[in-house]
């Protein structure tokens, strides 16, 4: 498996793009503004989009993608998400007011996209690849994902805060190698982090005490104007993990 980071920022502007990661050539993990890095031919190859939650920075490019490449494809793009996320997309995005309902275009028998509901803990098998939704704790229903090649796993937390259930599942993963986890705010913004159900360095340090496996640790969802400050605080509190800042175009092969 090969995971390419298209966007990993908590904001936009210049090189900053919101969350989207391309798994091999045919699967997206979230579809934020990072999708804009792809060429048309690359977008047309995407068969599946796995959505962590319904917030705009993680779904913004789904409508544009489907509209752009739907007519170029033989099969619909499958949007995998929690039932609550599915209903949000259906009711508030693909509702004929914000955007057309592409589950009915050009018709309901041959649509440009279709939904498939996820259930935490139930893996989706795509050939030899296994993608398992993991518990997340956010202001809306949300998940993270375990990406398992059969020999190695990468875990992406999605947007989350303090969450014992997440670590219970992560600690069961025998072949865990990489952990991509958020820290959306610096410590001076801890009150906002708590109210918006995100992590900051002090909360992240407490969460990592629950981790029972060695990992290569990467930090995502940093706010552009706080990124350096946040990473400095992370190094001070969890330097033993050798944490690294996730970057656009970073490539994981596992």
What pLDDT was estimated at residue 148? 98
pTM above 0.85, yes or no: yes
**Per-residue pLDDT, 210:** 98
pLDDT value of position 187 = 98
Tell me what the pLDDT averaged over the chain comes to: 98
**pLDDT of the residue at 179:** 98
Q: What gap in Å lies between CA 207 and CA 88, rounded to an integer? A: 29
pLDDT at 245: 98
pLDDT of 161 reads 98
pLDDT given for residue 192 in this prediction: 98
> Among 30, 38, 27, 40, which residue's Cα sits nearest to residue 67?
40
Q: Which two tokens stand for residue 57?
A: 């920075």
Section 106-133 average pLDDT: 97
Instruction: Find the mean pLDDT for residues 157-185.
Output: 98
| Preceding amide of 106 cis, omega within 30 | yes
Binning pLDDT at 50, 70 and 90, where does residue 244 land? Answer: very high
SS3 for 132-157, per residue?
EEEECCCCCCCEEEEEECCCCEEEEC
Domains, the chain, in order of start with CATH, read 2-253 (3.60.15.10)
The beta strand positions in 42-165, using DSSP E, are 48-50, 77-81, 113-117, 124-126, 129-135, 143-148, 153-156
172-226 per-position pLDDT tens digit: 999 999 999 999 999 999 999 999 999 999 999 999 999 999 999 999 999 999 9
**Residue 165's pLDDT is what?**
98
């Amino acid at each position: 498996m090969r995971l390419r980071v298209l966007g990993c920022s908590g904001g936009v502007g210049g090189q900053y793009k919101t969350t989207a990661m391309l798994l091999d050539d045919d699967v997206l993990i979230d579809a934020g503004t990072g999708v804009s890095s792809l060429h048309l031919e690359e977008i047309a190859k995407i068969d599946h989009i796995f959505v962590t939650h319904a917030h705009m920075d993680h779904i913004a490019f789904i409508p544009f993608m489907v509209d752009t490449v739907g007519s170029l494809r033989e099969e619909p793009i499958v949007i995998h998400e929690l039932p609550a996320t599915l209903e949000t997309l259906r009711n508030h995005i693909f509702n004929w007011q914000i955007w057309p309902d592409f589950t009915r275009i050009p018709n309901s028998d041959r649509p440009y996209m279709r939904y498939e509901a996820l259930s935490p803990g139930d893996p989706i098998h795509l050939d030899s690849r296994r993608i398992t939704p993991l518990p997340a704790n956010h202001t809306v229903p949300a998940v993270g994902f375990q990406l398992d090649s059969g020999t190695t796993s990468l875990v992406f937390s999605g947007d989350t805060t303090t969450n014992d259930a997440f670590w219970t599942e992560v600690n069961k993963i025998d072949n865990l190698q990489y952990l991509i986890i958020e820290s959306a705010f610096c410590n001076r913004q801890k009150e906002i982090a708590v109210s918006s159900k995100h992590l900051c360095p002090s909360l992240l340090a407490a969460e990592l005490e629950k981790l029972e496996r060695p990992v290569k640790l990467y930090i995502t969802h940093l706010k552009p104007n706080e990124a350096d400050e946040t990473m400095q605080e992370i190094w001070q509190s969890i330097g033993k993990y050798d944490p690294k800042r996730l970057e656009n175009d970073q490539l994981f092969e596992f």
